[in-house]
Amino acid sequence: MSGLVVRGLRTRVGDFSLGPIGFELRPGEVLGLLGPSGSGKTTLLRALSGFLPVPEGSVSLEGRPLAALPPEERGVGYVPQGLGLLPHRTVLGNVLYPLELRARRDARARALALLSDLGLTVLRDRYPGTLSGGERQRVAMARALAAEPRWLLWDEPFAGLDLEAREDLLDLLGATLETHHLPTVIVAHEPAVAFSLGRRFLLLQDGQARFEGSPEELRRRPPSAFAARFLGCENVLSFEDLERYPGSRLARSLRSLAGPEGVALFSRDLLPVSGGGPGTWPFTLNRLLPLPDGWLLKGDSEGLPLRVHHPETPGALPAPGTRLSVSLRSEALLPLGASEAPVHAPQ
């Protein structure tokens, strides 16, 4: 296959071991690398770019094995966390750096063209220490592209950026990836960011790949309680949780529909309804938490803890202690740990 192929990659940093990890990326394809802090995202990027030994597994680009090559010969545009801009060089000097290393005759013209493409011309004589977070990200991107990489690895490009800078960078990144058509791995800490980047991602937990697939697939069928929580699912109920409340009719009902690891429900798929009736479950409200578009109701259904979304509506809100009813759409139930969860087997 042309593009990036990673098979059964393992590495270690101190006591932390990563892998086996395997995935394939065609040119122009973006893989979002997702997972909480300490899950191994940065470790994987450092192993791929050649800064950590890979004692097991293989990494190849366009059929050429990379694992034995030093970082400078891997043709990778690696942007580490913190960006690694050269503090003693100006913006132009940073973009010139890889071109000077290659003794390119048109170095200056090329660097200026890249600065212009990324809207950095006015900043060319500034030093990195005087730039904003978004500007620094764009300089890092221009510099990575100046090296004419054949693939891109980007560690948390959106960390520490405000919403506007994030959106600008996202647009720019999208346009750049379209133009340069490179296999790209981008680390993201937050699911929302990863979802906006690409159609595929890899979820890491404790150095292990927990899921690989599209955002829709993950949302539809989270492979584990961890994945569901990471997606922002408010109700993640393990089998033990469901068995702990024998008096709860909802728990009994959910038990028959749950997967081996339990069941997950987004609060938005549970709706408070006036009056009881068939297809509704009792809900006692304990606390209200404000949300941007309504309220999160915390309470329980005959003991079973539950979080329910209450849309912003005119009129009085229920007070804590009120007994309500909730309805839930059965297609909204997410069985956890189902065997057909699309985790790619390590190769």
Partner 1 sequence: MKTPSQPEARIRLPPKRPWGTVLPAVLGGSLVLLFLLPLLALVTYAPPGEIFQEATNPGVLASLAVTLLASGLALAITLALGVPLGYLLARRSFRGKALLHSVVTLPLVLPHLVAGLAILLLFSPASPLGAWAVRLGFPVFETLWGVVLVMVYVSASYTVLSSELAFRAVDPSVLEAARSLGATPGEVTASVTLPLAFRGIVAGALLSWSRAVSEIGGFLILAYAVYPSALYTGPVTSPISVYIFNLYQLGDLSGAAAVSSLLVLIALTLFLAVRFVEGRGALPWVRGDLLP
Binding region for partner 1 (CB under 8 A): 46, 49-51, 70-72, 74, 76-90, 97-98, 101-102, 127-130, 140, 143-144, 146-147
Cβ neighbour number for residue 132 with a 10 Å cutoff? 12
Q: Report angle CA 334, 202, 69 to the nearest 5 degrees.
A: 165
Of 47 and 285, which CB lies nearer to partner 1 in the complex structure?
47
Of 50 and 272, which CB lies nearer to partner 1 in the complex structure?
50
Of 130 and 179, which CB lies nearer to partner 1 in the complex structure?
130
> Exposed (0-12), middle (13-18) or buried (19+): which is 10, by Cβ within 10 Å?
middle
Of 58 and 81, which CB lies nearer to partner 1 in the complex structure?
81
CB of 155 to partner 1, least distance (A): 9
Of 140 and 308, which CB lies nearer to partner 1 in the complex structure?
140
CB of 285 to partner 1, least distance (A): 37
331-335 contact pairs (CB < 8 A, 24+): 332/265, 332/266, 332/269, 332/270, 333/254, 333/257, 333/263, 333/265, 334/220, 334/221, 334/222, 334/228, 334/233, 334/263, 334/264, 334/265, 335/221, 335/257, 335/258, 335/259, 335/263
What is the torsional sign of CA 30, 151, 343, 255?
negative
Of 154 and 230, which CB lies nearer to partner 1 in the complex structure?
154
Answer yes or no: are the C-beta atoms of 204 and 33 closer than 8 Å.
yes
What is the torsional sign of CA 9, 341, 36, 137?
positive
Secondary structure class of 6 (helix, strand, coil): strand
- Write out the two tokens for 93: 């000097």
The answer for residues whose C-beta is within 8 angstroms of residue 27's C-beta and 6 or more apart is 2, 3, 181, 182, 183
Of 134 and 337, which CB lies nearer to partner 1 in the complex structure?
134
